[in-house]
Structure formats: C-alpha cells, structure tokens
C-alpha cells in the first residue's frame, strides 16, 4: 500500500492546465494524505507467545528492553524473547530462569558471567585487591586479597573455590593459591618473590593474574596447580614493583620554627626498639635546648644520642608518675660550628631518641600509645602550654599490612526515588596481616562519603546507601574508611533514574467491542429486583454491560551515571537506547486519575469503564510529585473482533544467551512445540484477538469469566475439554492423522449474556495440530462465521495454522458441538429480539487491497477530471472564429506576422491605400454603439492570389516618436473578390477596423464584460489612434 505513494506523487506533478487543475491538485493531496494515514495504520501490533518468563534465586534483577523494540523482532505467535539484567552477583546457588505456559514448564541454569579481557564465562564474581604496590628484598612478599561478592557465606564443606595467583616476570613465573573461607568469602595469597627477580640498580615490574579452580584435597584445600602458562585463561590483577631497597616510611612534624621532629609512620611490635629524630635548622642560635617527653605506661625512653657529639651534649633525666613517665633531655652546645655554605633553613639531624615497647598489649588488639613532646628554652616557664605536640604510636602484636573494605556489590541502582525505600549495600572492614591472616574490624571505625548527593554511608560504617534524596548518579564515587592509622577507600557506581517515567500502553484509545456484553450492570445503573423465578433469566440477561477494550501497562525508565567532574556527558546503564522495566516497583504508586473512566487492575492491565479522557499517573511516595504520566481515552466508538489468532502449544523450549553490553545481561527465548499430538495429548491454545482498529490483544488481558470460548473438531470425540486454567484454553486430543487435525475455535459473549442474536460468535479461527493441508482456493466467505460448517472453517484457515482462532474459558464449553447443532440452536434463539442489533464481524480487507483500490479510484478520478477539463475548454472557445478568410473552413490556415516599427509616415501611407468604401460601423466593436466612431476601411489585394490585412495599434508618447506594432495576417482571398491594388502591395488592417467577432473575442479575453467597461475601453483605443 505504501508503495503507491510514489505513483500518487507523480500524478500530483502531472496536472492538466485549465480551470479544473487546482481541484485535481486538491484531490491528489487528499489522496496522498489518506494513503499516508493508511501506511501509518498498516502494521498491526506485535504478537508474542504469552508465556511467563521469571528468574528464580536472583537477588536483584530487572527486565530491560531497547527503545521501540518490544517485543523484540524475533518474537512471533509461537515464540517470545525477554532480556534480563542481573545486578547482584551470583548467590550460593546459580539462578534459574523458568518459562511456563500451563500446563507446560521448563527451566535452565543461567550461564556464568562473561568477564574481561577474554570474554570468558566465570561462575564466581570475584574482586581482587593488591595489598602491596611494591616489594623489596627485605620484604619480598606480594599479597593479594580475593573476595567473593554477593552474600555472606555460611560454613560448608568444599562449597567455595580456590584462587591461584600467578606472578609473571622476565626472570620466570611463580604461583600460589588460597581457599576462600566463610563467612567473609575471602582469602589472601602471600606470594614470595624470588630473590633473583630483584635488580641491583633499577626497579622492575611483575604482572599478577589469577585463576579460579575447584577446591581439592591438599594443603590449604587447593591442588598443587600446573606449571602451564596461565596467560590465556587468567584474569588480570595488576602489577607490583620490585625495588632494590625499601624507602623509609616516616612523617615530619615541626615543634617550632627551628626544630622539627621526624617519627616512623608504621605500626610497631611489642618488644621492638625504634627511634625518633630531632632536626635543627642551620640558623638555630640557642646554646641550651630542653626537650620534655611524656609517655604512658608500656612505653619507655631508653636513650638520647646527639648526632654530632663534638657540638652538642645530652643529659637524660627520668621521672615516674602514677599514669605517665616523664623524661627530660637537656642539650648544651659544646663548641661552635665553622662557616657553612648550606642554606640557613636547611634541616640537619640533631638528636636521636630511642624508645622501647613493652611486651603486654591487651591480647593482641592494636592499641595506640600517645607521646607528648614539648620544647623549653632558658627563661621560659617549665609547663608552658605552647609548643606541645602529641604523637600517637600504633602498637600491635600483629603485623597489619592494610585495611580493606569488602562490599557485596560494586554498583547500586537507585530505585529509592521510585519506591521510597532506601537501598543499601553492606560493607565489612578487614585487616590483612603478614602471613595472610584476615581479621574483621568492628570498632572505632571512621567513614565519610566524598559526594553525599550521590551516595551516603551509615553512621556505623557498615553500609552505604541511597535514601531517595540524592539528586544524581555517578561512576566511581568514593567512600573513605579509616581505623587507627590505617586508611582505605571503596569506589562504587550509582545508577540514578532519568525522569520522567515512560508509561507504555499497548493501546491509548479503548473502544467498545461490538456485540460483546459481559455480566454486570452498567456504571451508575441499579439492578431491578426480579419478581419471580421465571424472570431471573431475563434479569440476568438484561444485567449485562458493554465490554470495552483492555490494554497492558508497563513502566519504563533509563538509568544513568553523571561524571564526577560535573560534566554533562552521561553514562547509561547498558546503553542510551535501553530502558529498565520498573513496573513491579512503581505499580503500587500508579493510579488512574479518573477511576470512573478506567481502572488499573494489578498495576498491569488497564480496563475501560465509560467514555471519557483521563490519564495514568505515578506519584513519588517521598514528595508526592508526578514521576510519569500518560493520557488515555475511552470512547463509545465500536470496534469488531476481526479474527482469532491461535497457536497450539504442546510443550515449551527455552534457550539462554549472554549479552555483551553488561556482565549481568541475559536473554531468554522460549518457543512453543507443535508437533503431531500423541493420543490423549493435552494441548494448550494461545489466543490473540485482532480488532478492526488495527490492534491486537492476548486473551490473558481479559477476565476469563468474560470469555465464552468454544472448540469443535471435524471428527466427533477428537477433543475433550482440559482442566480450566483461567484465560488459557486447553483441550485433550485423541491424536492427529498424517494430514493434521484442525480445531475450530469461536469467541462468544458469556453464557448469561447470550440472548437472541448475541448467540452469533464474535469471531472465530482455526488451529492446526500437526501439518496443515496444502493451500487451496478458498470459497466465498459467509456473512456470519457462526453459520459456516467446520469444513469451511478448515479450508479458509488452512494456511493460518499459526494465526487461527481460539476462544472461551469462562470456561471451555463442556460439550464440543458440531457447527450444524449450533446453527440449529441459533435459529431457535433468533425469535428473541433485543434493543441492540447484533452485527456480525466484517470480513477484513487486506491492506494491499485497500491500497490498490485507493490508487485505482484516484487514477479514474484524474482521468475524469482531465476529460471534463478538455470539454470545458472546447465549449468555451468554439465560438471564437478567425477573422476574414479564416471563417471559411475550406481555406488554408492563415499565417500571423508581427511587424514592429517607429515610422509614422509608413503608418499614414498604409491607411491612405485602404478603400473608403465600407460603411461606417461595419468593423466596429459590437460593444461600442455610440456616435463618434472612426471610419473603418478595408483593403483587398488580389495580386498573387492572396489578400493582406494589417491591424495597427499605436500609443502616443509625450515628447518623442511613437512606436507602433503591426499585426499582419496573410490569408487566401476568395476567387470572386476583385483586385483593387497593385500586385505586391501589402494590406494593413488596424485593430480599430477589425471584424465584429474579432473585437468581441479580444474584449472577452481581457475580462471586460460590462458594457460600461467596454465603452470606456474603446474610447481609449480611439483616442490613442
């Protein structure tokens, strides 16, 4: 049909010139608009197998779809595809995807995630954290923490895998494994780097990667591991630097303008001896310096050693108290320094102070030991509060290497704005000790979110969350944690919805279904009370109302993350053309603005109630603002059910595949099995209703009590009703032959509303079990599908075995009557009359036929307009006869010549040659009958057998010569005319002396039809001549 628009466009370019041309242009434009509208309405709504697809044992998942691609292109009447997004990592058991269409069901295990860089499926979601960024020969151990995300792992034998770390260096490879331990689901690999990997003069790098393998019998629960190259299968961790020496770790704190304290920045072990260094600037001039040190019990100052004994001396005095020990170090300058070329502000070592940690430390728990430093000069109060500095020493029996936060997920979908319920991700803090021990930290933890507009952290630092008050999302938002002197950061991705919501309706205009009445009084009409049992059936029949169309409702929204630098370029979850289905989240907050017009059942089905215009709204549970809105209309226009499309289902098949847009993307495709049925095989029939307004709807949208469905077969006893399953129709068949078994299905109103002509089926269709017969020429369709025999239905629907008809479950009729019996019952019931006449569903004309009929009508109309235009043109100008000899039909066609000149004398000569014998007024304009007309002369030249006549109209020009135009016509002269002029003399005929018909023709062509206008025009012509 749409292909004909090119022909209509070509027709619009070819329009006959004439008075009817604009009308033809208008008609062609209307035709183009009609065909365009037809093209817009041409494709029917998509169909799919209404099987239920659901994920089991998946902690968090969404259905997703591409914009404008629902259902996907590969869906059909016998198949369906859905894409799911699993955000939370796998739990202990692999999730299952189940496909069901009662009574058939099947399920499969969701395949593992695909991870970079080799796009290999990995059954576990693992996070690897490198504890050390560099190693030295003094500390040659590289430690990597592995964490299984997703949940808490209860103790269980052999349920968790092993992680094997592979270190690759140009000098060789090294391997070591660890077994994941409950309940943290984590373990640490401590790999010792071989000594020959370290270079004496430069820093090298070793690449780290890991593989996962099942637990095995052996040391640590893991196997010995092979020596094969793991690079093809290993997942990357990062690189570690191999340094020849470890730079010291310390921090410097100024005590005043000239004295600075340098202390170690690492935890110390019980019984360990360590030193603090005092630095002086070169411009220090004092000769006496006193350093007061106050420490708690468990820490002692053992010695004070000058860096330059020849310049300074140090005296150590100790004072013991009940809670603190005080040490007083007095330094005296012993000599003077020589000239120094260094900068006065440069620091140099002045004094070394040695400390010793006692062995007892609260059962291995890390504790801090504060040390207070104070400088005193001569003349200063001993206990002055200024110039005091407190340094805390972390003392622990364990050699703690790092603090690591463990989160169950690294990305969070912020649905709190839609539901009003906060979303949380639990976080646990652990410390990594030398040797690979993991200890959870639960007390004295500090935390802070770097961007509270995106993500928040709980006060106890055990979770990060979103509450619905956040304004945006972000990738890599940072949350900082600290414990004692250790700090760590956790980065997460937060996806926020981009409002407004998209409210997607399968049909935004709901209309009445012609002939379909369902039980229930009309809105606002009370039911009359029945007087007796005889009137009960009448009352029930009259208590039926019209059925309106129904539509499916889905709520969709895209999720995106904003850049941390404040830019406007968004990162979309899955992609910019992907939407997440949040219907299960916002359905409790969705409602119809005017419930009298329509209602929302279960948050998924829109039901029309009465004519009107309203909208579906979704309001925020937090702010009561509108998150999304969609307008809809319910009209009293009537539509018909054109046909029933049926798909027989004798089993369900399921296939799963992994996507590439996100590691958690899973696509499920299920399709119906429709082989030859076995004896007593139960067959489910999937039903779609096709309406005359170019919409389709599955039977599942309608209440099964409102569907009156009947099934019949050509062979008696071939089908029996199956157990009722709501709107899904099922039968039990005895078997099908080699040619297949046709099932004829009809849709009726419910039994209480079948009165009189309402017993006529609304629509019907055929479903084939097995192979359909070869296509044959279908006979003329009857006016009513109810009066056609089963044989006729089988022949007309033979090639529509995937789009046939099905009906009732309100329920499936207990008896499967033959069509002849139904026709007899309809004849008996035809005696009952109702106010509303039942109109059978019209036979649908295909869109191709509509297009061809439209084009044929347009072309016929164009030809007719062209003919009318030609006839009008001929009738208009047939009275205009050529002057003089041109009036003779036998004379040849005259030749018109135009002569331009400016010679006034030539004009006078031409006029003097004309014979003055013609009577006055013979050649005047018939419109001018007044006196004062000029004398008209006619000259005829016989020489050469031709007569030459010329008409000249000259206009006067002020101040200059006049230009003139001569119109000379040469025509064959009649033989009876005498010659009056010499041979070769041209005859000039002015327009003022032309014939009456010539003047009339000129006047009419100029649009001068009023006598006054013509008279004025002729007077102006005479004046100019």
357 pLDDT tier (thresholds 50, 70, 90)? confident
pLDDT greater at residue 468 or residue 298: 468
pLDDT confidence band for 775 (50 / 70 / 90): low
Question: Please, which pLDDT band fits residue 221 given cuts at 50, 70 and 90?
Answer: confident
Looking at residue 495, its pLDDT comes to 95
Backbone angles phi, psi at 478, to 5 degrees: -100, 140
d(CA 205, CA 243): 9
**Per-residue pLDDT at 813:** 36
Beta strands in 273-399 (DSSP E): 273-281, 288-296, 299-306, 312-320, 324-333, 347-357, 367-376, 388-395
pLDDT greater than 80 at residue 19: no
Per the model's pLDDT, the better-predicted residue between 29 and 590 turns out to be 590
Looking at per-residue pLDDT, the higher value among 166 and 816 belongs to 166
The predicted model gives 169-176 an average pLDDT of 92
**What is the 8-class DSSP label of residue 76?**
B
> What is the chain's mean pLDDT, rounded?
75
Range with the largest mean pLDDT of 38-47, 339-348, 550-559, 670-679: 550-559
Q: Compute the average pLDDT of residues 102-112.
A: 89
Q: Per the structure block, which two tokens stand in for 655?
A: 């296939």
Q: Which residues pair with 333 in a beta bridge?
A: 312
Higher pLDDT, 926 or 309: 309
User: Could you tell me the pLDDT band of residue 636, with boundaries at 50, 70 and 90?
Assistant: very high
Q: What is the pLDDT of residues 828-858, one digit of tens each?
A: 444 344 434 444 444 556 778 888 999 999 9
Backbone CA torsion sign across 60, 65, 71, 75: negative
Q: What is the pLDDT of residues 369-421, one digit of tens each?
A: 888 988 888 776 655 555 678 888 877 777 888 899 999 888 999 999 999 99
Whether pLDDT at 15 is above 50: no
Query: 957 phi and psi, to 5 degrees?
Result: -120, 135
For the record, the structure tokens of 196 come out as: 């020959």
> Among the listed ranges 288-302, 523-537, 835-849, 930-944, which one has the minimum average pLDDT value?
930-944
pLDDT at 800: 31
Residue 192: band (very low, low, confident or very high) from pLDDT cuts 50, 70, 90 = very high
User: 14-28, 193-207, 544-558: which has the highest mean pLDDT?
Assistant: 544-558
In sequence order, which residues have a C-beta less than 8 Å from that of residue 340 and are 6 or more positions away? 282
In the prediction, which pLDDT does 299 show? 85
What is the distance between the alpha carbons of residues 311 and 335, in angstroms, rounded to a whole number? 5
pLDDT of the residue at 1002: 56
pLDDT at 123: 67
Q: Given pLDDT bands bounded at 50, 70 and 90, which one contains residue 364?
A: low
pLDDT of 272 over the 60 cut: yes
Tell me the per-residue pLDDT of 178-187, one tens digit each, with 9 for 90 and over.
Answer: 988 887 889 9
Instruction: Select the more confidently predicted residue: 267 or 210.
Output: 210
Phi-psi region of 680 (alpha: psi -120 to 50; beta: other; left: phi over 0): left
- Identify the burial level of 115 via C-beta atoms within 10 angstroms of its C-beta, where 0-12 means exposed, 13-18 middle and 19 or more buried: middle
Q: How far apart are CA 953 and CA 962, in angstroms?
A: 11
pLDDT recorded at residue 581: 95
Distances (CA, A) of 54 to 79, 97, 365, 534, 602: 16, 6, 49, 50, 17
pLDDT surpasses 50 at 341: yes
> Tokens representing 273?
């001896």
The residue with greater pLDDT, 801 or 1007, is: 1007
3-class DSSP assignment, residue 611: coil
CA dihedral for 618, 620, 623, 624, sign (positive or negative)? positive
Least confident range from 168-177, 207-216, 390-399: namely 390-399
Q: Between these two residues, 72 and 353, which has the higher pLDDT value?
A: 353
pLDDT > 70: percent of the chain: 64
For residues 863 and 949, the model is more confident at 863
- At 888-900, the pLDDT tens digits run 444 455 555 555 5
State the pLDDT confidence band at 156, using cuts at 50, 70 and 90: low
pLDDT of residue 530: 44
Q: pLDDT tens digit string along 119-154?
A: 556 667 788 999 988 998 888 999 999 998 876 666
Q: Which region, left, alpha or beta, applies to residue 87 given φ > 0 means left and ψ of -120 to 50 means alpha?
A: alpha
- Residue 108 falls in which region: left (phi positive, over 0), alpha (psi -120 to 50) or beta: beta
Q: Which of 87-101, 401-415, 788-802 has the lowest mean pLDDT?
A: 788-802
Look up residue 638 and give its two tokens.
Answer: 């009537």
* Tokens, residue 582: 């949040």
Separation in Å, CA 803 to CA 48, 687, 844, 861, 899: 11, 9, 14, 38, 80
CB 621 within 8 A of CB 586: no
| Calpha distance 874→405 (Å, rounded) | 97
Environment class of residue 443 by beta-carbon count within 10 Å: exposed (0-12), middle (13-18) or buried (19+)?
exposed
Query: Strand pairing partners for 643?
Result: 690
């Amino acid at each position: 049909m749409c292909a004909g628009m090119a022909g209509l466009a070509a027709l619009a370019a070819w329009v006959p010139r004439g008075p009817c041309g604009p009308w033809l242009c208008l008609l062609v434009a209307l035709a183009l608009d009609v065909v365009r509208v037809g093209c817009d309405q041409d494709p029917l709504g998509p169909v799919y197998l209404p099987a239920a697809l659901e994920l089991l044992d998946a902690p968090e998942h969404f259905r997703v779809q591409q914009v404008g691609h629902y259902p996907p292109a590969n869906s059909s009447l016998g198949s369906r595809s859905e894409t799911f997004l699993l955000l939370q990592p796998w739990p202990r058991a692999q999730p299952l995807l189940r496909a069901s269409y009662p009574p058939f069901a099947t399920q499969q295990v969701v395949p593992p995630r695909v991870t970079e860089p080799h796009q290999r499926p990995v059954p576990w979601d693992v996070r690897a954290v490198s504890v050390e960024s560099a190693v030295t020969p003094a500390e040659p151990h590289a430690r990597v923490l592995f964490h299984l995300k997703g949940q808490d792992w209860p103790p269980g034998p052999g349920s968790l895998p092993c992680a094997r770390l592979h270190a690759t260096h140009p000098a060789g490879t090294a391997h070591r494994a660890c077994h994941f331990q409950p309940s943290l689901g984590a373990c640490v690999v401590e790999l010792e780097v071989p000594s020959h990997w370290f270079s004496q003069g430069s820093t090298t790098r070793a690449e780290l990667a890991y593989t996962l393998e099942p637990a095995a019998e052996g040391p640590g629960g893991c196997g010995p591991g092979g020596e094969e190259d793991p690079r093809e299968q290993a997942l990357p961790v990062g690189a570690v630097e191999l340094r020849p020496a470890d730079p010291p770790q310390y921090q410097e704190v100024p005590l005043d303008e000239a004295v600075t304290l340098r202390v170690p920045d690492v935890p110390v072990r019980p019984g360990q001896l360590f030193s603090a260094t005092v630095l002086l600037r070169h411009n220090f001039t004092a000769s006496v310096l006193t350093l007061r040190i106050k420490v708690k019990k468990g820490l002692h100052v053992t010695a004070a050693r000058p860096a330059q004994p020849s310049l300074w001396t140090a005296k150590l005095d100790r004072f013991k108290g009940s809670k603190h020990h005080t040490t007083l170090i007095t330094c005296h300058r012993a000599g003077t320094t020589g000239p120094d070329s260094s900068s006065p502000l440069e620091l140099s070592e002045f004094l070394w102070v040695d400390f010793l940690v006692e062995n007892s430390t609260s059962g291995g728990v890390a504790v801090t030991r504060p040390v207070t430093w104070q400088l005193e000069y001569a003349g200063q109060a001993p206990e002055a509060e200024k110039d005091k500095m407190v340094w805390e020493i972390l003392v622990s029996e364990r050699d703690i290497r790092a603090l690591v936060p463990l989160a169950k997920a690294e990305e969070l979908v912020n649905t709190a704005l839609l539901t009003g319920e906060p979303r949380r991700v639990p976080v646990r803090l652990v410390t990594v000790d030398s040797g690979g021990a993991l200890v959870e930290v639960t007390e004295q933890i500090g935390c802070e979110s770097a961007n509270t507009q995106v993500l928040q952290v709980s006060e106890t630092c055990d979770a990060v969350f979103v509450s619905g008050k956040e304004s945006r999302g972000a990738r890599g938002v940072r949350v900082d944690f600290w414990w004692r002197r250790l700090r760590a950061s956790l980065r997460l991705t937060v996806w926020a919805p981009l409002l407004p919501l998209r409210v997607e309706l399968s049909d935004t205009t709901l209309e009445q279904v012609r002939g379909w009445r369902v039980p229930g009084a009309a809105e606002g009409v009370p039911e009359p009370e029945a007087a007796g049992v005889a009137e009960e059936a009448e009352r029930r029949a009259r208590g039926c109302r019209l059925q309106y169309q129904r539509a499916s409702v889905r709520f969709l929204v895209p999720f995106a993350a904003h850049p941390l630098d404040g830019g406007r370029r968004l990162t979309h979850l899955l992609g910019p053309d992907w939407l997440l289905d949040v219907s299960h989240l916002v359905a409790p907050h969705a409602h119809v603005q005017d419930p009298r017009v329509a209602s929302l059942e279960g948050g998924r089905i829109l039901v029309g109630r009465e004519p009107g215009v309203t909208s579906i709204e979704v309001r925020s549970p937090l702010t009561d603002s509108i998150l999304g809105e969609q307008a809809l209309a319910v009209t009293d226009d009537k539509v018909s059910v054109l046909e029933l499309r049926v798909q027989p289902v004798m089993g369900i098949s399921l296939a799963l595949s992994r996507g590439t847009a996100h590691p958690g993307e899973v696509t499920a495709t299920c399709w119906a099995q429709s082989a030859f049925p076995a004896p007593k095989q139960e067959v489910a029939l999937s039903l779609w209703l096709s309406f005359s307004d170019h919409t389709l709807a599955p039977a599942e949208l309608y209440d099964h009590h409102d569907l009156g469905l009947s099934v019949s077969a050509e062979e008696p006893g071939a089908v029996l009703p199956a157990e009722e399953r709501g709107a899904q129709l099922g039968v039990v068949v005895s078997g099908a032959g080699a040619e297949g078994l046709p099932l004829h299905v009809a849709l009726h109103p419910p039994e209480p509303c079948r009165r009189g002509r309402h017993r006529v089926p609304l629509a019907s269709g055929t479903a084939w079990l097995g192979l359909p017969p070869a296509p044959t020429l279908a006979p003329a369709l009857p006016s009513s599908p109810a009066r056609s025999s089963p044989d006729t239905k089988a022949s007309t629907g033979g090639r529509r075995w995937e789009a046939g008809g099905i009906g009732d479950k309100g329920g499936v009729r207990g008896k499967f009557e033959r069509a002849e019996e139904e026709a007899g019952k309809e004849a008996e019931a035809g005696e009952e009359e109702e106010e509303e006449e039942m109109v059978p569903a019209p036979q649908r004309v295909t869109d191709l036929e509509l297009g061809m009929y439209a084009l044929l009508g347009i072309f016929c109309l164009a030809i007719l307009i062209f003919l009318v235009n030609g006839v009008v043109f001929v009738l208009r100008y047939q009275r205009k006869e050529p002057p003089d000899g041109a009036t003779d039909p036998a004379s040849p066609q005259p030749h018109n010549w135009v002569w331009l000149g400016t010679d006034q004398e030539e004009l006078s000569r031409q006029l003097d040659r004309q014979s003055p014998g013609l009577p006055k007024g013979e050649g005047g304009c018939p419109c001018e009958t007044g006196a004062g007309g000029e004398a008209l002369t006619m000259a005829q030249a016989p020489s050469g057998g031709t007569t030459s006549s010329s008409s000249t109209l000259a206009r006067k020009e002020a101040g200059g010569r006049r230009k003139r135009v001569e119109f000379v016509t040469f025509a064959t002269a009649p033989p009876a005319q005498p010659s009056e002029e010499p041979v070769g003399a041209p005859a000039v005929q002015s327009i003022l002396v032309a014939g009456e018909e010539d003047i009339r023709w000129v006047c009419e062509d100029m649009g001068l039809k009023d006598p006054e206008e013509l008279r004025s025009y002729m007077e102006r012509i005479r004046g100019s001549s």
